[in-house]
Amino acid sequence: MIENRTDTGAAVACGLRRPTAPRWLRRAGWLYRRIRGLLALSMLILIVLVFTPLTGTLQGLLDVTGPPQAADYIVCLGGEDERLIWAAELFKQGYAPKVIVSNIGGPALVMKSRMEGMGVPSDCLIVDAASRNTGDHPTCIAALEGIDPGAHRFLIVTHLEHSRRAAACFRKGGYAHLSVFAGRPSTKQEGPLTARNWRARVMIGPTLAYEYTALLKYWLQGKI
């Protein structure tokens, strides 16, 4: 034992050190530990979201929809074909005399054509073809002839998980009278749809992640 200490001391005295791993190998080890930690955290989050009521709670927080209300304009936001069906049904049921389809360029014209095919007269359709994303809808619709965000009533048609971000953007844009409809009962009436089974919670996960990330982004950008 004494001889080993003496040898070590002698090695130190002579300026000798134990060999160290190359820098690239140390960096690889650091990266491996970080990735392993992130994977473990992701797995924990996934387990919590799939096997606890948290997913339903997160979905419910995004829901600001309700039963359709009478309005001056039905506003169908681009993105999902189901919204066209809901907007056409609302028009036929007399909730508003005009329908605004809001999207960008060609897709907006396609929306108009499909609405006509569902029985909405062409002269009852208004096209906003300048909205690239959710944040654009309020400004671009307000620029349409005859639209008064502060005075007119608007019935926004979108999906449940998108409803909070859409409504927040419209309110930020000065729309004083609006309601949001998602083609089905609100989670406040029937409870979160994701609470029914674990498969539904898995399927809705990416949508929730996207919406909450978008809400944070829009808040930082001052859009909501």
Name the β-bridge partners of 128: 102
Q: Does residue 164 share a domain with residue 85?
A: yes
Q: Does residue 178 share a domain with residue 81?
A: yes
What CATH number is given to the structural domain containing 80?
A: 3.40.50.620
For residue 21, the model assigns a pLDDT of 65
118 in any annotated domain = yes
Q: Does residue 152 share a domain with residue 211?
A: no
Domain boundaries, position 83: 65-184
Q: What is the DSSP string of 128-174?
A: E-B--STTTHHHHHHTSTT--TTTSEEEEE--GGGHHHHHHHHHHTT
101 in any annotated domain = yes
42 in any annotated domain = no
14 in any annotated domain = no
Q: What is the pLDDT of residues 17-49, one digit of tens each?
A: 666 667 766 677 667 677 777 666 655 555 555
73 in any annotated domain = yes
Q: What is the pLDDT of residues 187-196, one digit of tens each?
A: 665 566 665 6
175 in any annotated domain = yes
Q: What is the pTM of this model?
A: 0.75
Number of domains in the chain: 2
Q: Does residue 179 share a domain with residue 70?
A: yes
